[in-house]
């Protein structure tokens, strides 16, 4: 573990960074995984602390101090943690933040009764498969509006970070290659 946490990162050419935190009792471990243009995954670091804000800030500062290039654009995949977006924006000059759609599905469903959760989840999945980010956002906003009156917690959860859950779909819409 000490070798992993001390390895220099200045030779890595990363296109994406995935950050996630896991709670163990009163402690939190935040892990960072880099992904190169060739798809190779690189474990970058782990930080432990009592709060997500402290842990992620320590982790990202450590990555920068070990030579990770934080000046170029990079896709950063995160869950719905409150401290993560702010820490990423603070550490990177040009991050493209994408929130995990699976985490979003779970968070919204947790605010709904079982009989409604499956229907809402299906509608959210359909929106995430839309032809464009604009169409997906319109479908998700319509769903949030429907939920607002009877399930305001679910509506608020759906709206929180909505644009970030569409980051990959938005990027596909501006792709200039022949894919």
Domain range summary for the chain, segments of one domain joined by +: 2-99, 101-171
How much is the mean pLDDT over the chain? 88
What pLDDT shows up at residue 107?
93
Name the fold adopted by 2-99: Nucleotidyltransferase; domain 5 (3.30.420)
Task: Return per-residue pLDDT of the chain as tens, 179 residues.
Answer: 778 778 889 889 899 999 988 777 877 788 899 999 899 999 999 888 776 667 888 889 899 999 999 999 999 998 867 778 888 998 999 999 999 899 899 999 999 999 999 999 999 999 999 999 999 999 999 999 999 999 999 999 999 989 999 998 887 654 444 44
Count of C-beta atoms within a 10 Å radius of residue 87: 24
SS3 for the chain is CHHHHHCCCCCCCEEEEEEEEEEECCEEEEEEEEEECCCCEEEEEEEEECCHHHHHHHHHHHHHHCCCCCCCCEEEEECCCCHHHHHHHHHCCCEEEEECHHHHHHHHHCCCCHHHHHHHHHHHHHHHCCCCHHHHHHHHHHHHHHHHHHCHHHHHHHHCCHHHHCHHHHHHHCCCCCC
């Amino acid at each position: 573990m000490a070798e992993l946490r001390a390895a220099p990162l200045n030779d890595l050419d990363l296109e994406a960074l995935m950050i996630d935190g896991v709670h163990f009792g009163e402690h939190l471990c935040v892990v960072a995984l880099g992904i190169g243009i060739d798809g190779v995954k690189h474990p970058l670091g782990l930080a432990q602390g009592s709060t997500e804000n402290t842990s992620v800030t320590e982790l990202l500062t450590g990555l920068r101090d070990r030579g990770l290039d934080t000046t170029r654009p990079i896709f950063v995949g995160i869950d719905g943690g409150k401290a993560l977006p702010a820490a990423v924006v603070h550490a990177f000059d040009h991050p493209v933040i994408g929130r995990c759609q699976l985490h979003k599905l779970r968070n919204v469903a947790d605010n709904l009764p079982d009989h409604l959760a499956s229907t809402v989840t299906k509608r959210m999945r359909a929106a995430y498969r839309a032809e464009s980010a604009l169409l997906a956002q319109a479908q998700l906003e319509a769903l949030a509006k429907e939920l607002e009156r009877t399930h305001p917690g679910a509506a608020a959860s759906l709206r929180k970070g909505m644009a970030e859950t569409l980051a990959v779909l938005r990027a596909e819409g501006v792709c200039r290659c022949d894919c």
